[in-house]
Amino acid sequence: MPKFAANLSFIFQEVGFLERFAAAATCGFKAVEYLSPYDHPPGQDRAQAERTYLANLRHAADRLAAEGVMLVIEPINTRDIPGYFLNTTTQAMSVIERVGHANLKLQLDLYHVQIMEGDLAHRVRALAGQYPHVQIAGNPGRHEPDIGEINYPFLFDLLDELGYSGWIGCEYRPKGETKTGLSWAKRYGIGG
């Protein structure tokens, strides 16, 4: 059965940030995630930015490996964040291969993958074992995952079939009140 994490940067917006942790727990979430508060603008020279990115990932992977910590990178679509450096799973897997550290993996955000690459079931299968964390949102609109073109129940079953046991981050913008919008998750024990 899939395990869901509430992304507090997106859902439970009707309460203050610190109150979102309790709101998520009340609805049955056992894990949370939220976006970094830091802004990292892309460099002007893409080749230099790539060299710096790879060097920084190598350094971070070395330091984190010593602590037993996994490092993930996330491709993000060019529509939501124009100019973002990493945009596709193909590009991310190339970076991971070039960095060459076992503790560097892919964060698989199915919303971004749908926009940039599509063919989600194929990618979920082909990349199995490379992603310790998955994120979801409906497309179009980045709302609840039962809105739009992505068949998430099918993908959740596929993830189960492939033995995925990591968290699935709910990184979407509720169309209304968060708890009401969790009707899609009741079959998975979420929604209170």
CA atoms of 85 and 91, how far apart (whole Å): 10
Q: What is the pLDDT of residues 116-171, one digit of tens each?
A: 999 999 999 999 999 999 999 999 999 999 999 999 999 999 999 999 999 999 99
Percent of the chain with pLDDT over 70: 95
Class of domain 3-188: alpha beta
Selection from 164, 163, 162 nearest residue 135 by Cα: 164
Are the CB atoms for 12 and 32 separated by under 8 Å? no
Selection from 92, 47, 53 nearest residue 73 by Cα: 92
Tell me which of 19, 149, 161, 171 is the catalytic residue.
171
Active site residue 171: yes
Please report, to the nearest 10 degrees, the dihedral formed by the alpha carbons of residues 68, 32, 136, 95 taken in order: -30
Write a three-state SS string for 13-66: CCCCHHHHHHHHHHCCCCEEECCCCCCCCCCCCHHHHHHHHHHHHHHHHHHHHH
Active site residue 14: no
Residue 49: per-residue pLDDT: 83
Are the CB atoms for 71 and 103 separated by under 8 Å? yes
Residue 83: per-residue pLDDT: 81
Please report, to the nearest 10 degrees, the dihedral formed by the alpha carbons of residues 126, 130, 135, 140 taken in order: -30
Which pTM does this prediction carry? 0.85
Angle at CA 71, nearest 5°, toward 68 and 73? 170
Q: What is the pLDDT of residues 75-123, one digit of tens each?
A: 999 999 888 889 999 999 999 999 999 999 999 999 999 999 999 999 9
Tell me which of 14, 19, 50, 74 is the catalytic residue.
74
